[in-house]
Amino acid sequence: MSESRLEIWTAASLVAVSLLVAVPVVVDLFGDGTATTGPAWAWWICYLGYLALLGLIFLDNATVVRRPVIVLVPLALCAAGTVLLAARAGFTPILLVFVTACAATLGSRRLTAVYLVANTGVVALAAAIAGGSLPEVGLTALVYAALQTCSVWAVWSEQRERTARERLAVANTELRAATALLAESSRSTERLRIARELHDLVGHQLTALVLELEVASHHRGDAAADHVRRARGLARELLGDVRTAVGELRSRPPRLREALTEIVADLPRPRVHLSVADDLEPDEECAVTLIRCVQEVVTNAIRHSEAENLWLRVDRAGSGEITLRAEDDGRGAELLRIGNGLTGVRERVEQLGGRVSFESRSGFRLDATVPAP
């Protein structure tokens, strides 16, 4: 199951349980109304406010993550009001367990501990309001404290696992990029070596053959001269073929599509949609720059964006320039802080005489243009 589906099922399960624990109270409100210890309208306000804030956490996670206290404080107050106003219902303290789990997800460990202690106190107070004896109050508080502790441990374990997966994905992306660059460098070096060998050995020998035939053509009769001229022509054609082959070996473009496909393959999140134009023939320096740009974009998407999808498109502009556009559907940021990675991308592109721009208001977007070789 993918991470996004798991998150959806988790959110649906929390909402479903939150609805189920309120069923006894709702049924009682339409009956004799003995479950609540306060006005029914106050309980409804607290309960519906809790559901609304819980939905906000799941639907607008980007805003909540930046300022979690703004949502967590009213969420805890609404849950506490729901529990205290329906102290005789029995199951509503489960809502406080969810509040502590949300605090563990969004807040710091110190904030989580504060919520755990406070919610345990609310449970104890609700048990006392319901008329429980001191041992019953203590046991109830202890049970719900244990449930909160288990939920916090589960949340923190999942966060550690997610962080480990992200680090592994980043390391894997960097390793594949380095492998692709190393392989291309090895191929370029080998092509250059073969080209030099062909030029130094075969090229020089054929040149000498042409000179020898040229001299021989001046010391033979007409019949021999014809054969010599034909041999000279063949030798010149062969020399031209060798020079053409040498030129092709020196200038053969790097396999950009294969390198980029290798970098983005098998990423768990985000899903990468790669498109590379068929007519692109970048030189080695341009290909290295594009590979490094893609590596940085993918790494940032894994670490920071929380995106589900990342679109990468390498194309040729109408003026012949090579363009790279990268865009994700992550949370974005009002203020983009350019770190060492993006600074390196800008320096690489500008070193080739190109230009690059970044946008982060609605997801992250990169537009880079480099001159065609």
Task: Judge whether 35 and 88 are in contact, CB under 8 Å.
Answer: yes
- Domain assignment present for residue 88? The answer is yes
Q: Residue 307's CB: how many other CB atoms inside 10 A?
A: 22
- Domain assignment present for residue 347? The answer is yes
> Across 202-211, 220-229, 247-256, 320-329, which has the greatest mean pLDDT?
320-329
Question: Which pLDDT score is estimated for 337?
Answer: 77
Same domain? For 88 and 206 the reply is no
Residue 253 φ then ψ, to 5°: -70, 150
Same domain? For 200 and 279 the reply is no
Question: Which pLDDT score is estimated for 140?
Answer: 85
- Domain assignment present for residue 314? The answer is yes
Closest CA to 313 of 324, 304, 300, 301: 324
Same domain? For 262 and 327 the reply is yes
- When comparing pLDDT for 179 and 91, which is higher? 91
Cα dihedral 28→34→37→38 (10° resolution): 60
Same domain? For 45 and 114 the reply is yes
pLDDT tens sequence across 356-365: 888 887 788 8
- When comparing pLDDT for 115 and 187, which is higher? 115
Same domain? For 298 and 360 the reply is yes
How sure is the predictor about 41, in pLDDT bands with cuts at 50, 70 and 90? Answer: confident
Strands, sheet with 309-316, edge to edge from the N-terminal-most edge strand: 271-276, 309-316, 322-328, 365-370, 355-359
Q: From the centroid of its chain, how far is CA 237? A: 54
DSSP 8-class letter at 274: E
- Domain assignment present for residue 271? The answer is yes
Task: Judge whether 137 and 235 are in contact, CB under 8 Å.
Answer: no
Same domain? For 37 and 123 the reply is yes
Tell me: pLDDT of 24 over 80. no
Residue 17 φ then ψ, to 5°: -65, -40
Question: Which pLDDT score is estimated for 149?
Answer: 92
Percent of the chain with pLDDT over 90: 3
Tell me: pLDDT of 153 over 90. yes
Domain-terminating residue out of 132, 153, 170 = 132
Same domain? For 8 and 114 the reply is yes
If you write DSSP's letter for every residue of 111-136 in order, what string do you get? HHHHHHHHHHHHHHHHHHHTT--HHH
Residue 309 φ then ψ, to 5°: -135, 150
pLDDT tens sequence across 172-214: 777 777 767 666 666 666 666 666 666 655 665 666 566 666 6
Same domain? For 72 and 92 the reply is yes
- Domain assignment present for residue 308? The answer is yes
Tell me: pLDDT of 341 over 50. yes
HSE-CB of 71 using CA atoms within 13 angstroms? 26
Same domain? For 362 and 286 the reply is yes
Those residues with Cβ within 8 angstroms of residue 146's Cβ, 6 or more apart along the chain or in another chain: none
Same domain? For 218 and 265 the reply is no
With vertex at residue 372, the alpha carbon angle to CA 278 and CA 339, rounded to the nearest 5 degrees, is 100
Tell me: pLDDT of 329 over 70. yes
How sure is the predictor about 220, in pLDDT bands with cuts at 50, 70 and 90? Answer: low
Q: Is 79 helix (H, G, I), strand (E, B) or coil?
A: helix
- When comparing pLDDT for 302 and 251, which is higher? 302
CATH number for the domain that contains residue 326: 3.30.565.10
Same domain? For 234 and 269 the reply is no
Percent of the chain with pLDDT over 70: 72
Domain-terminating residue out of 132, 147, 178 = 132
pLDDT tens sequence across 3-21: 556 667 777 777 788 888 7
Question: Which pLDDT score is estimated for 193?
Answer: 66
- Domain assignment present for residue 175? The answer is no
Domain-terminating residue out of 132, 157, 180 = 132
- Domain assignment present for residue 105? The answer is yes
Chain mean pLDDT for the chain:
77
- When comparing pLDDT for 236 and 118, which is higher? 118
Tell me: pLDDT of 58 over 70. yes
Domain residues for 246? 192-251
Same domain? For 211 and 289 the reply is no
Domain count, the chain: 3
Parallel, antiparallel or unpaired: strands 365-370 and 322-328:
antiparallel
| Spatial distance between the Cα atoms of 100 and 119, rounded to a whole number of angstroms | 8
Question: Which pLDDT score is estimated for 1?
Answer: 44
How sure is the predictor about 132, in pLDDT bands with cuts at 50, 70 and 90? Answer: confident
For the ranges 23-27, 88-92, 143-147, 217-221, which has the lowest average pLDDT? 217-221
Is-cis flag, bond preceding 135, omega within 30? no
Question: Which pLDDT score is estimated for 150?
Answer: 92
Q: What is the mean pLDDT of residues 332-358?
A: 83
- Domain assignment present for residue 170? The answer is no
pLDDT tens sequence across 278-325: 777 777 788 888 888 888 888 888 777 778 888 899 888 877 788 898
Residue type, 76: A
How sure is the predictor about 135, in pLDDT bands with cuts at 50, 70 and 90? Answer: confident
